[in-house]
Amino acid sequence: MIYSYKELLEKYGSRYNIKKAINNKEIYKVENGIYSTKKVVDPIIIFSKKYPSGVLTMDSAFYIYDLTDIIPDKVYLATPSNYRSIKNEKIVQIFTDKKRLNFGKESLKINEYTVNIYNKERLLVELIRKRKQIPFDYYKEIISNYREIVDELDMKKIEEYLSLFKNDLNLSEALQREVF
pLDDT in tens, 1-22: 999 999 999 999 999 999 999 9
Q: Are residues 34 and 62 in the same domain?
A: no
pLDDT in tens, 104-147: 999 999 988 999 999 999 999 999 999 999 999 999 999 999 99
- The strand order across the sheet containing 75-80 reads 91-96, 75-80, 55-56, 113-118, 105-110
Closest by CA position to 104, among listed 178, 164, 170, 168: 164
CA distance readout (Å), 152 to 30, 71, 120, 145, 166: 37, 24, 10, 12, 26
> Can you tell me whether residue 114 is helix, strand or coil?
strand
> Can you tell me whether residue 119 is helix, strand or coil?
coil
Burial class (CB in 10 A: 0-12, 13-18, 19+), 105: middle
Q: Are residues 127 and 146 in the same domain?
A: yes
Q: Are residues 63 and 13 in the same domain?
A: no
Of residues 92 and 165, which shows the higher confidence score? 92
Element (H, E) at 142: helix 136-148
| Total number of domains constituting the chain | 2
Domain assignment of residue 120, given as a range:
44-178
Q: Does the pLDDT of residue 67 top 90, yes or no?
A: yes
Q: Are residues 28 and 95 in the same domain?
A: no
Q: Are residues 111 and 90 in the same domain?
A: yes
The whole-angstrom separation of Cα 175 and Cα 154 is: 14
Q: Are residues 51 and 120 in the same domain?
A: yes
Q: What is the pTM of this model?
A: 0.89
pLDDT at residue 76, as a whole number: 97
75-80/91-96 β-pairing = parallel
